[in-house]
Amino acid sequence: MDVRARVPPCSDSCARPYHASHGISSDYMEARQASCHCDLPAAVTGNKDIYMKTASSDCAISDHGAARPQHRPVDDHDATNGLVRSTRDLPPAHYTFQIRNCSLLFKNEVKKCESGQFEVGGYQWRLVVQLPTDGKKNIYRNHENDHISLYLAIANENNLLPGWEVNVNFKFFVFDQIRNNYLCVQDGIVRRFHNLKTEWGFAQLLSLDLLDDPSNGYIVDDMCVFGVEVFVLKLTGMGECLSMVKEYPTSHHFNWKIDKFDPVKDYSYHSHVFLVEGRKWRLKLNLRGIKSVEDAFLSLYLQFDASETLTLGRRLYANYRLQLRDEVKGNHLEETGERWFYDNVGFGFPSFLSLRDLMDTSKGYLRGDALSVQCRIEFIYVAKEFLPK
Q: What pLDDT, in 10s, does the model give residues 248-300?
A: 555 568 999 998 888 777 788 999 999 887 788 999 998 865 454 456 888 99
How is residue 380 annotated by DSSP?
E
Q: Indicate if 23 and 121 belong to the same structural domain.
A: yes
Same domain for 360 and 278: yes
Report the number of distinct structural domains present in the chain. 2
**For residue 19, which phi and psi values (nearest 5 degrees)?**
-65, -50
User: Does 200 share its domain with 246?
Assistant: no
For residues 148 and 170, membership in a common domain is answered with yes
CA Rg, the chain, in Å?
A: 36
Whether residue 161 is found in the same domain as residue 250? no
Which residue blocks in the chain are alpha helix, DSSP H? 17-22, 26-31, 103-107, 208-212, 355-359
Residue-by-residue DSSP string for 307-351: T--PPTTEEEEEEEEEEE--TTT---EEEEEEEEE-TT--EEEEE
Residues of the chain with pLDDT under 70: 1-81, 109, 133-145, 237, 245-252, 288-295, 310-314, 386-389
Same domain (yes/no): 18, 68: yes
pLDDT given at position 35: 52
Buried b / exposed e across 175-189, counting CB within 10 Å, b at 16+? bbbbbbbbbbbbeee
Residues 147, 120 contacting (CB under 8 angstroms)? no
Question: What is each CA distance from 35 to 151, 258, 275, 307, in whole angstroms?
Answer: 17, 76, 65, 61
CATH number at residue 183: 2.60.210.10
Whether residue 244 sits in one domain with residue 185 = no
Q: What is the pLDDT of residue 198?
A: 94
Residue finishing a domain among 208, 233, 258: 233
Same domain, 168 and 272: no
Range of the domain at 47: 3-233
DSSP letter assigned to residue 214? G
Which helix (H) or strand (E) segment holds residue 206: the answer is strand 199-207
Residue environment code for 160-172, b if the CB has 16+ CB neighbours within 10 A, otherwise e? beeeeebebebbb
81 in the same domain as 43:
yes
Domain termination residue (choose one: 233, 257, 290): 233
Q: Of 233, 249, 273, which marks where a domain is finished?
A: 233
Percent of the chain exceeding pLDDT 70 equals 68
- Mean pLDDT across the chain: 75
Shared domain check, 29 and 60? yes
Do residues 164 and 256 both lie within one domain? no
**360 shares a domain with 248:** yes
CA angle, residues 336, 339, 342, in degrees to nearest 5? 135
Q: What is the pTM of this model?
A: 0.51
CA-closest candidate to residue 336, choices 380, 276, 377, 283: 377
